[in-house]
Amino acid sequence: MEYPGNLFVVAAPSGAGKSSLVKALMELDSRVQPSVSHTTRAPRGQEVHGREYYFVSQDTFDQMVLQGGFVEWAQVHGNRYGTSKQALEQRIKQGADVILEIDYQGAIQVKRIFPNAVLVFILPPSWEELRSRLERRAEDSADVIEVRLQNAANEMAHAKEFDFVIINELFERALFDLKAIVHAQRLKYAAQRNARSDTFRALNIT
């Protein structure tokens, strides 16, 4: 029998490094799978439809909202983003550990629907470094970078509502912390399931 997988949610202000950390985690751990969101924003850099996002029109997004197609959706930096209900529920049911890279509003909505979801907030080490990462990434215009920095203060004020906060100063240290959270959740979940296992019965643990 296949047990349902775990759900991890990673949020951060733009440029803090969540995509880089999640990508590195998935390269090390094939049990962690991404959820590809839908967005009304235009593709940026080398982004590919169906890989980073499903890039859809405003009308298509509206239709999905009306049909209840999203587990959560939110307006972020002037565009809309949503997590497809069908794809997420199917993957978790199949036993995958799914990781969502979404904003804090979406994270809070997900926690209401999936109380066992583990919410992780990534902080940059400083405002200077956050700006510098967005500028070095060189994928957004100066205007877009300013909007994202202005929104960052409000986003970071929600960090305390998350289960864990990681400071992404040294990348390898932050990745270690993220891996530890995933590992700890798996052990916790396994302990709950093992309450009915042969080993528990053999040890007379009830």
Ligand X SMILES: Nc1ncnc2c1ncn2[C@@H]1O[C@H](COP(=O)(O)OP(=O)(O)OP(=O)(O)O)[C@@H](O)[C@H]1O
Ligand Y SMILES: Nc1nc2c(ncn2[C@@H]2O[C@H](COP(=O)(O)O)[C@@H](O)[C@H]2O)c(=O)[nH]1
Q: Give the interface with ligand X as residue ranges (CB under 6 A).
A: 12, 14-20, 133, 136-137, 168, 171
Q: Are the C-beta atoms of 114 and 157 separated by less than 8 Å?
A: no
Residue 20 contact, options ligand X, ligand Y, none, Cβ 5-8 Å cut-off depending on partner type? ligand X
Structure tokens that stand for 152 in this block: 């960052």
Q: Which of 166, 125, 148, 132 is nearest to 11 (CA)?
A: 166
Confirm whether residue 5 is marked as ligand binding.
no
13 is in an annotated binding site: yes
Q: Which does 72 bind (CB under 5 to 8 A by kind): ligand Y, ligand X, none?
A: ligand Y
Rounded to 5°, the CA angle 164-168-171 comes to 125
Q: Is 19 annotated as a binding residue?
A: yes
- Closest distance between ligand X and the C-beta of residue 109, in Å? 18
Name the minimum Å distance from CB 128 to ligand Y: 20
Is the Cβ of residue 2 or residue 27 nearer to ligand X in the bound state? 27
Rg (CA), the chain: 18
For the CB of residue 200, give the shortest distance to ligand Y in the complex, in Å.
38
- In this structure, are residues 152 and 130 in contact, taking their beta carbons and an 8 Å threshold? yes
**HEC string of 143-174?**
HHHHHHHHHHHHHHCCHHHCCEEEECCCHHHH
- Of 56 and 102, nearer to ligand Y (C-beta) is 102
Instruction: Choose among ligand X, ligand Y, none what residue 106 binds, the Cβ cut-off being 5 to 8 Å by kind.
Output: ligand Y
Q: Which amino acid is at 46?
A: Q
Contacting residues toward ligand Y, per CB under 6 A: 14, 37, 41, 72-74, 76-77, 81-83, 101-103, 105-106
* Joined tokens for residue 16: 């803090």
Query: Which residue's CB atom is positioned nearest to ligand Y?
Result: 106
List the binding residues.
Answer: 12-19
List the binding residues for ATP.
Answer: 12-19
